[in-house]
């Protein structure tokens, strides 16, 4: 035992020789002791067995200690094996919301839409007034909007429609723009709602733009994004800035429209709102409503990502849990 404790080595070869001497399965010292153990009287086996096991543990600990000491010496002296493989670099992935945003914008860019961006801190005109929101509209209430206390005319934008207003102010028709961005609403955080979320809105203004153009554009998007067998349906709705307005549903890709738990047995999933731009909005932004018409649409990126990836809790997008994010490495970026 003392020989093991006092042993020292300065090279990997010496450590390996020590290991073979004691732990070799063919002719190591421990194998020899275990073979002789068979001939030991019964009353001595317990004591001798404990000593052999102690020796085996001591040898193993000594080998590990010598290896650690050698590695520390090599790291401090700068000596290392240049032929040894390097440490693997762990590749990450884009956030699922970024993946979906890029996929959506790519589809509309192929249709000629141009990406436009705007500030997240806005004024009342670009968020509400220029979009035909009446003074008493409930969306102006503090329960829905984050206002800046020192200046009630300044707020965090509640939709990316404010970008469309800025585009109309600075560009003459034809206009074809897609507007991704982060928006804010004063809502309680839950599995289905958050005070921060992301939208993509689109705007097309030109001469002779019709509701049929809107429907065909959205049908093309749905087939490109959800699959060629996807169908859409439009239901009448109301938005202050479009007339007529509609909600758009897509056929459930999980059940093929037959009905399941995800679509609540209806075979349809709501994905966005849309409509023809209200003439008042065109006039408020200096566009002749008698010459030009247009359509607009908007969708929540979280909602689309939940449908695409089967995520059942919206809060997962904001928690930065690596276990959740690692699941999207295989998704086309």
> pLDDT per residue over 127-137, tens digit each?
999 998 888 87
Give yes or no: residues 27 and 102 share one domain. Answer: no
pLDDT on residue 248: 95
Give yes or no: residues 16 and 108 share one domain. Answer: no
C-alpha atoms less than 13 angstroms from C-alpha of 174 in its C-beta half-sphere? 9
CATH of the domain at 118: 3.30.930.10
Residue 190 domain-assigned?
A: yes
Residue 90 domain-assigned?
A: no
Least confident range of 17-21, 132-136, 154-158: 17-21
Residue 68 domain-assigned?
A: yes
pLDDT on residue 198: 94
pLDDT on residue 170: 92
Residue 84 domain-assigned?
A: no
Residue 56 domain-assigned?
A: yes
Total domains present in the chain:
2
Of the ranges 14-28, 46-60, 181-195, the best mean pLDDT one: 181-195
Integer Cα distance of 70 and 79 in angstroms: 11
Integer Cα distance of 84 and 117 in angstroms: 49
Integer Cα distance of 52 and 251 in angstroms: 72
Give yes or no: residues 298 and 193 share one domain. Answer: yes
Least confident range of 78-82, 250-254, 269-273: 78-82
Give yes or no: residues 196 and 312 share one domain. Answer: yes
What does the pLDDT average to over 259-284? 87
3-class DSSP assignment, residue 173: coil
CA dist 18 to 4, 11, 26, 138, Å?
9, 11, 14, 82
Final residue of a structural domain among 77, 107, 135? 77
Please state, rounded to an integer, the average pLDDT across all residues of the chain. Answer: 85
Q: Which of 289, 229, 220, 223 is nearest to 256 (CA)?
A: 229
Give yes or no: residues 65 and 122 share one domain. Answer: no
pLDDT on residue 152: 78
Given a cut of 80, whether residue 52 has pLDDT beyond it is no
Give yes or no: residues 207 and 303 share one domain. Answer: yes
CB-CB contact of 159 with 201 (8 Å):
yes
Give yes or no: residues 111 and 31 share one domain. Answer: no
**pTM for this predicted structure:** 0.70
pLDDT on residue 312: 80
Percent of the chain's residues with pLDDT above 70:
93
Least confident range of 3-7, 167-171, 324-328: 3-7
Give yes or no: residues 191 and 322 share one domain. Answer: yes
Give yes or no: residues 123 and 24 share one domain. Answer: no
Given a cut of 90, whether residue 322 has pLDDT beyond it is no
Of the ranges 73-82, 249-258, 315-324, the best mean pLDDT one: 315-324
Task: Give the tens place of pLDDT for each residue, 309-321.
Answer: 888 888 889 988 8
Residue scoring higher pLDDT (188 or 301):
301
3-class DSSP assignment, residue 85: coil
pLDDT on residue 79: 60
Q: Which residue range is the domain that position 303 belongs to?
A: 96-328
């Amino acid at each position: 035992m003392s020989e093991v404790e006092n042993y020292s080595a300065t090279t990997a070869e010496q450590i390996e020789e020590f290991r073979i001497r004691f732990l070799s399965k063919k002719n190591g010292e421990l194998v020899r002791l275990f073979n002789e153990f068979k001939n030991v009287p019964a009353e001595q086996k317990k004591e001798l067995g404990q000593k052999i096991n102690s020796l085996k543990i001591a040898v193993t600990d000594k080998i590990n200690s010598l290896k650690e000491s050698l590695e520390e010496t090599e790291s401090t002296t700068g000596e290392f094996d240049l032929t040894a493989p390097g440490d693997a670099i762990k590749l990450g992935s884009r956030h699922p919301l970024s993946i979906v945003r890029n996929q959506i914008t790519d589809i509309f860019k192929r249709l000629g839409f141009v990406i436009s961006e705007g500030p997240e801190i806005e004024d009342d005109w670009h968020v509400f007034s220029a979009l035909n929101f009446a003074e008493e509209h409930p969306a102006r209430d503090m329960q829905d909007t984050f206002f800046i206390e020192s200046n009630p005319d300044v707020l965090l934008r509640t939709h990316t429609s404010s970008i469309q207003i800025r585009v109309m102010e600075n560009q003459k028709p034809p206009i074809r723009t897609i507007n991704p961005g982060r928006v804010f609403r004063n809502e309680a955080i839950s599995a289905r709602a958050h005070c921060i979320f992301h939208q993509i809105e689109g705007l097309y203004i030109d001469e002779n733009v019709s509701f049929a153009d809107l429907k065909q554009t959205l049908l093309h998007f749905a087939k490109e994004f959800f699959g060629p067998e996807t169908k859409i349906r439009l239901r009448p709705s109301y938005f202050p800035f479009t007339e007529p307005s509609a909600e758009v549903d897509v056929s459930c890709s999980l059940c093929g429209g037959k009905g399941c738990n995800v679509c609540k047995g209806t075979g349809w999933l709501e994905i966005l709102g849309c409509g023809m731009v209200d003439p008042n909005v065109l006039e408020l932004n200096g566009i002749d409503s008698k010459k030009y018409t247009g359509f607009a649409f908007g969708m929540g990126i979280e909602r689309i990502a939940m449908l695409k990836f089967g995520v059942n809790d919206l809060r997962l997008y904001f928690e930065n849990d690596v276990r959740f994010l690692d699941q999207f490495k295989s998704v086309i970026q």
